[in-house]
A and B are shown apart, each in its own frame.
Chain A
Amino acid sequence: MKSIPKLIRRFLLILLLSTALLLALNLAVLALISANQTPGAAPWTTAKEAAAALRKTENGYQLSKEMAQELHSENVWALFIDNHTLNVLWTSDNLPDAVPVDYDASDIAYLTRGYIADYPTFTGESDRGLMILGYPKDRFWKQMNPAWDYDFIANLPKTLLAALAANAVLLLLIYVAANSSLLRSVNPIAEGIQQLPDGQPIHVKETGTLSQLAHSINETSHMLQRQKYDLAKKETARANWIAGVSHDIRTPLSMIMGYADQLENSVDLPEIQRQKAMVIRRQSEKIRALISDLNLASKLEYNMQPVNLRPEKLVPLVRKVVVDFMNMDIKNHYPIVWNTNKAAETCIIHTDRDLLQRAVSNLIQNSINHNEAGCQISISVTAAQGKCRVLVEDDGIGVSSEQLEKLNHKAHYMVCDTNVSEQCHGLGLLLVKQIIAAHQGEVRMGSSASGGFSVELTLPRK
């Protein structure tokens, strides 16, 4: 669950970056507005224009009509001071009373950058004198031009950069602090959730803002543990039950099988009775196979059978099974044909010897069980790229393609909960599937070239 810290980090980063961006945007807008308002643009120019627009006529000084209009519309008063005499040569009609009409040099020095009676003043000169415009009191912010410290202006780029850097560092600190505090509370929760699927018991500390979440996770873990325990108990009980039943059947079956075999071979009995004994013996052998298959299959299903995979040569393992069958089949009803290629001789696989032998043995037994009239069984072990194959085929009655479809795809009644009414295949083949699955191999059932049944086991090579 690395994604949660990543998510938080990204979220915070986006938040901080957008803050910075917003700030920059605001600054830019401010700069744009203030650029439009720079002093010197409007009032200074107007003053200069007004100075130029003042003409000397016979009736004294006269402002041009347009200028007078403009000044009037902005409610601006004006006066004109002679360069040499410092006398006021002209004033506009709307000159407030508070404005003096005598000036000396110091007054002029003051008003060029300042105020007269609180009216912000702007000056424009002409060759005769100085035009002074007085704006309404609330038209401009009162600001004496301050004398900026030289160093301050000189170092401005550096200062700005430093400020920027300081801001960046501050942002980073905020980011780290926010991130770590968030992660501190989220991380245990994330870890807890991450560990849930492992099936191990989890305890997350139930403190902090997310304590409720932590509590829920602990509850979930507890519940999972309990379910797991219950399930294991149930499965153990089921497997033990099967083991118990099969154990209790074994001893009585020993006697049925033993005496039936003796009767079958008894020379004192007529042939017909011996035939009957043979049927009993054969059927009890089937029950025997069923019991041990059932026991092992249930153990494998409920993970009670240890599967010890060790590197082993495949050919000797299969050979042993085949020879055991040949030694038992004295009447040669089920002749076995054996095939291996040179490559297979050296084929080593990771296998649980007993289980794999059981699988091969079940396949041979399967052919025997389904072909009471006898059949030829051929067994071949071959090796290919990264794989070993064991093929068990017979030339017996075989299976229809629908049956084959079921065998390959339908689950056994022990495995599937639904569809119990449907005919499922025997335990023997289920066991083969389970064993081969424990070997990470594959089972493919099909028809042999002669129309019989064939099963191919594919096992990964070591």
Chain B
Amino acid sequence: MDYITDKRILLVDDEPELLDMVVSILRDDGFGNIRTAGSVKEALEAAAEFGPELAILDVMLPDGDGFTLMKQLKATADYPILFLTARGEDEDKFQGFGLGADDYMVKPFLPKELIFRIRAILRRSYRDEKPLVKLHGSEIDFARGEVRKNGLRIPLTAKEFELLSTLYRNEGRIVTIDSLCEAAWGDNPFGYENSLMVHIRRIREKIEENPSSPVSLVTVKGLGYKLMAKE
């Protein structure tokens, strides 16, 4: 997963102490390419010079607001934006207007919450150049869309690929049945839960050593599934 921690991250907030803390959280998790800015002006300069692959913006800045800054940043290059906001009511803006933000976090947050959001956005936005996910007893090669097990290469169908990608983005965490259905079939009022079970069984046949007692793709009864990578 190292390709993610190499990404260039631009942090914009007018509180230097908060910047310090976020930087330390990111460093603790292995991120090394970090640049900070305390205003819109500094942010635009830093962006031009640094070429960020992810920007984390505060909504309220001394010389402007984060939404305008986002538009200016996106005008030159397209990369994901994560907002930090101290206002609960901003939630409505993010959800209602589809401003083009990739995600937002309401302050205060726990380090692990922030790290999870950042990793999820980066995985969604940037494909791993060498995405080889090691599982117990097999490996998933997302670049080729196949599973390697016992020296065999087993191709994944489009739906299986979608499901595994979604599970991998949330590796170690439960993904709800509903999120998986949405990933594979889109937002549909009629559940595809039975189809999902069929696909999960086929994926297990491909990735598990013993599909009837799975260790990599675990069922959480009634709720969802969890992909456990080896490490």
Contacts and interface: CB of A to CB of B under 8 A. Distances in A.
Interface of A: 243, 246-248, 250-251, 253-259, 261-262, 281, 284-285, 288, 292, 295-296, 306, 313, 316, 319-320, 322-323, 326-328, 338-340, 345, 354
A261 B21 CA distance: 11
Interface string B97-136: 0000000001111111100000000000000000000000
17 contacts: A246-B88, A247-B87, A250-B107, A251-B108, A253-B107, A254-B107, A255-B21, A284-B108, A292-B88, A319-B176, A319-B178, A319-B222, A323-B220, A326-B174, A326-B220, A327-B174, A340-B222
Given A243-B87, A254-B107, A257-B108, A262 B28 contact: yes
Nearest to A288: B108
Contacts of B178: 316, 319-320
Contacts of B22: 258
- Leading 5 A-B pairs by shortest Cβ distance: A254-B108, A316-B178, A250-B86, A253-B108, A250-B107
Given A251-B107, A288-B108, A319 B177 contact: yes
A246 B110 CA distance: 17
Interface of B: 15, 17-18, 21-22, 24-25, 28, 86-89, 91-92, 95, 106-113, 173-179, 189, 191, 220-224
A133 B125 CA distance: 137
Contacts of A306: 92
A189 B224 CA distance: 64
Given A262-B24, A327-B173, A338-B223, A251 B88 contact: no
Contacts of A253: 107-108
Given A255-B21, A262-B24, A319-B223, A285 B87 contact: no
Contacts of B28: 262
A326 B173 CA distance: 8
Contacts of A340: 222
A255 B18 contact: yes
Contact of B88 (A256, A259, A295, A345): A295
For A281, A284, A319, which residue has the most chain B Cβ atoms within 10 angstroms?
A: A319
A292 B106 contact: yes
Given A292-B88, A319-B223, A327-B173, A285 B111 contact: no
For B106, B110, B224, which residue has the most chain A Cβ atoms within 10 angstroms?
A: B110
B86 A255 contact: no
Nearest to A381: B222
Given A253-B108, A319-B177, 9 more contacts: A246-B88, A247-B87, A250-B106, A251-B86, A257-B109, A261-B111, A262-B24, A284-B108, A354-B91
Contact of A258 (B110, B175, B222): B110
A320 B176 CA distance: 7
Given A262-B24, A323-B176, A339 B109 contact: no
B17 A326 contact: no
Contacts of A261: 110-112
Q: Is the interface of A mostly helix, strand, loop or mixed?
A: helix
A326 B223 contact: yes
Contact of B109 (A254, A323, A345): A254
A322 B177 CA distance: 12
Contacts of A296: 88
A261 B115 CA distance: 13
A284 B109 CA distance: 10
Contact of B110 (A255, A285, A295, A354): A285
A31 B69 CA distance: 104
A356 to B, nearest CB: 15
A251 B15 contact: yes
Nearest to A325: B174
Given A251-B86, A258-B21, A262-B28, A323 B223 contact: yes
B111 A258 contact: yes
A284 B176 CA distance: 29
B143 to A, nearest CB: 27
Contacts of A323: 174-176, 220, 223-224
Contacts of B95: 354
For A243, A251, A262, A313, which residue has the most chain B Cβ atoms within 10 angstroms?
A: A251
Contacts of B21: 254-255, 258-259
A185 to B, nearest CB: 51
Given A285-B110, A326-B174, A254 B224 contact: no
A143 to B, nearest CB: 100
Contacts of B224: 319, 323
B64 to A, nearest CB: 18
Nearest to B179: A320
A17 B125 CA distance: 89
B222 A257 contact: no
A95 B107 CA distance: 132
Nearest to B85: A250
A279 to B, nearest CB: 15
Given A243-B89, A285-B110, A292-B106, A258 B221 contact: no
Given A258-B25, A327-B174, A339-B222, A345 B191 contact: yes
Contacts of A248: 86
Contacts of A284: 108
A283 B176 CA distance: 30
Contacts of A255: 17-18, 21, 108
A307 to B, nearest CB: 12
A323 to B, nearest CB: 5
A44 to B, nearest CB: 105
Given A243-B88, A323-B224, A262 B110 contact: no
Contacts of A250: 86-87, 106-108
A254 B107 CA distance: 6
Nearest to A315: B178
A295 B91 CA distance: 13
Nearest to B89: A243
A382 B62 CA distance: 50
B87 A338 contact: no
